[in-house]
Structure formats: structure tokens, C-alpha cells
Amino acid sequence: MPVKVGDTAPDFTLPSQNGTPVSLNNFRGKPVILYFYPKDDTPGCTAQSCAFRDQYEVFKTAGAEVIGVSGDSPESHQKFAAKYQLPFTLLSDKGDQVRKQYGATAAFGLIPGRVTYVIDPQGTVRYVFDSMFNFKGHVEEALKTLQQLQTA
């Protein structure tokens, strides 16, 4: 059953690009932009991650944390983050267990899905954006939702 708006975001612990375990619950009390993407250093994933990078200061100013998740290894994430100066955390979901838990599964039955979740400070999912090809839309929609949360 995919995670949807109004659900409590399932907690998880995964290794970051530095190998440090990171839990979603560590970020309670602040908004989290959690985005699942198919693979490091591919054209669409690079465009999406760089779009998050380019707006990262806006997210930080709003008090939000940006977290990217794919099945790649921490070492792959480390290279990807260094190559494109990604200032946020990338998590390694080997075996796609968290991806499956969230329902951000394969697009077209082949490629891991590209889904972004906006989670409020209490841990409730406020927005889900699922699009394989609208890379920048993930960032635009997350920012829009974050602004709505701030004015609510």
C-alpha cells in the first residue's frame, strides 16, 4: 500500500553517503523533503538532484531538510554528491526495502520510481509528487507545499 497524503511517514534507518546511519525520526520537528530517485549519475537523476541543490538554501531557510534515496551504495552516493556539489544527505536503500515500504516502486515495471514526499514537522505526509520525467517539478511542488505549510 503506497504512502499517501495524510499518512504518517514510516520511519527507517539507512546509511548515508558517509556510511553514518540516518533515521527519518532524527528530523522530527522540521519539514523533510524525501525524494526517491532511480540511480546516481544518470541524466534524469542528475537533473533532479541538481534542481534540489540549486534551491537548497530556500529549503534550509524554510527550516526543511532534503534527503535523497536510491539503491546505490554509500560510495556511489559519495562520488555523486562530490561530483555535483550536492549539499544534502543521500541514503543507500540497498534492496529497495524503504522504497517498497513507501510504495515508490518501479516505473514501467523496470526502473525504480521517482517520487517526492513532503513531510511536515509532526511526521505527516502533506504532499506526494510522482513523475519520472518532470525532474524540476519535484522541486517546484515541494517548495510550493513547504510555503503552504508555513502559512497554515
Grid coordinates given for 55: 534551491
DSSP 86-107: --SEEEE-GGGHHHHHHT---B
DSSP 7-59: SBPPP-EEEBTTS-EEEGGGGTTS-EEEEE-S-TTSHHHHHHHHHHHHTHHHH
Which one from 32, 45, 91, 143 is the annotated catalytic residue? 45
CA distances from residue 71 to 6, 36, 64, 68, 129 in whole angstroms, order as listed = 26, 9, 23, 10, 19
Distance CA 8, CA 40 (A): 28
50 an active-site residue?
no
Distance CA 73, CA 140 (A): 28
| Catalytic residue ranges | 45
